[in-house]
Structure 1
C-alpha cells in the first residue's frame, strides 16, 4: 500500500468522488496517479493550458482520493478492466497499483435508496462524518466532493424541496423526500466541502439544497459535464467558420449515440446532422461524428473542476460558481438562461478572467 506520509499534510486537497468505483472515477484516479508519477502528460486538462497554468492550483501531487460507492469491483480490478477495453495503456494498472489501493481504502459505503432502514437525516449525517474523518485522517486543507455517479431519477415534486426549513422539518419527521444525489450534496455542504455535480442529477435544482449551500457559505457547480457526446450536444454544428458563410438552416436531426455506455467506460460514437440551403436554393447536409471514450474525455475535466473549486474555496467564493459554466452542458447558476446565451469561447474567456481575478490568501 502507498505510505500515507507520501501524501496529505499541509497544502493537500482531498477529492471525494461519489461513484468512486465507476469507470469515470477509476479513470480519474488512475490518471492522477500517472500524472503524479510522470508517466503521462496532462492532455485534456483545461487547467494545464497556457492561460490557466500559472494559477496557484493544487498540484496533481497534492490530490488525495476517496469516495462513496455501493458496489462494484475494487479500484485495481476496475482499472484493469478499463485497460483490457483499450481505455488506457495495458501496463498502467500495475504501475499505479499502490495509489489505487490507497484510494480503495478510502471508499465508504454510500446511500442506497432506502439505505437499510435508516432515515435520510441519519444517512446525511453518516455521509458527512465520512468526509470529516477523511479530511482529518489525511490532514487535508479542504475536500472537494464531485458527483460522478450515474444520474438518479428525477424525484417527484415535494413541498420539502422548496425551502431549507421545509426540508429540515420533513427529515426530522422521518420522511424520505430526497433523491440519493441530494443526500450526497447535503452531506458535502454539511461537512463544509465544495460540491460539484458532474452528472445531470436533481440535487442542485432543489431550492432547499441551494439554501443549505448559502447557509454554509460553500461554493457549488454543475450539472452534466461536457465531455464527448454532451459536448457535441451543446456546441452547434454551425461552427463560426461555417456560420459566417450564411447558409439557411432547414432542419437538424439532433445528436444520436451508439456503442458502449459512458458508465461502462466503453467507446461511443455520436453523430449530429443539419440540413441547410445554399446559393440558388441548393439543399445540402452537414454531418458531424466522433468516436471516443467518455471516461477518458471526462476524467481530466473532473481533475480540472476539483482543482478550480479548491482554488475558489481558498478565495472564499460562495454560492453558484457561474464562471465554471464552460465545463457543463446544463450549468446551475441562478439564471441558467445567461449561461445558455454565452458561446463556448465566451464561457472560456469568463473562466480565465474569473480564475485570475480570485484573491487567494498566501
Structure 2
C-alpha cells in the first residue's frame, strides 16, 4: 500500500501521541509525584530573610552516609568526613558522585583547604591537626598543648597567612565510636597554630564545648558555637563572636550572639556576604536543619531537614549553593546569597 505525504504525517502524529501518553512510559519517567514550589524546607520568619529565599529551588538529597565537610573552590568538590568509618569522602559538584578520598584518617572530623590548595583536617584519634602535602606526605601541625594530648580537634578555619584556628571540645574521646575513649587531659578550648610554632597557642577556654567555627568576610571576627548542653545540662547552646587580632593569635571582646532557649543545639557554622550566620541545627522535628541569624542575632529563617544537620558551607561557581551534612546524608539548596 502506498501512503501519500499527508497520510504519512497524520499516522506519524498518531504514533507519536500514543507513545507520549503511554501509561507504562509515564510510570517509568515519573517515579514520584512532582513537588510543589516553594519547597517545604524553606521557612521565612522575617522579611530580612526574603532576599535569600528562592521560590523555585528544591532541596536535593545527594547521598546517604556522611558528616562534616569543607569545600574546594578550585577542584569544584567538597570533602566531608564519615567519622565512625575513619574516612574522608569526596562529593563532586559537576557529576554529583560521592567517592572515598582517604581511608584510615584518624576519625577525621572538620576539614578546610589552605591557600595553596592543601587539605587541613582535624582528627580525633590520634588527636591532632594534620595537613596533606602535595607530595602525599602528612604534616602534623598540632597534637599536644603544654605537653598534654589534645582532646579531639573538631573544626577549623584557615587564615590569610595559612595559620589555623581550631576547636578542641573532645567529642572523639568520649566514645570509641568516633575515636578512642579516654579521659580528657586538658580543658576544651580554641587554639591557633602555624608552621612557625612548635605547639598551639591558646586563644580561649571560655566555652564548655567549642565546636563549629567560622570567620567573617573581612577576617576581623571569629565565630564559634558551643554545644555545652551535651555535657553541661545547665548551660545553653550558644554562638559567640570575638574581635580577632591582625595576626590571628589573640581574641578580645567576646559577645554571645545566639543563646538557645529550648532544646536546640548549633554545630557547624558559616557566614554569607551580608554577615548573616547560617548554623547547622539539631533539636527534633521543626528544628533540625539550618538556622539563619541576622548580624544582630535575630533568627530570620530556617531550612528544615528530616535529619539533624552537623555542618554546612556554601559551594559552587558563585558560592550560592548551600551544602549541608546531616546525620546520614548530603543535601544542597540554592540560595539568594553567597558565602564569604
TM-score over 0.5 (shorter chain): no
Quick check: which one's helix share is greater?
A: 1
Larger radius of gyration: 2
Higher relative contact order structure (alpha carbons within 8 Å, sequence separation ≥ 6) = 1
Quick check: which one's strand share is greater?
A: 2
Q: TM-score, normalised by structure 2?
A: 0.28
Q: TM-score, normalised by structure 1?
A: 0.27
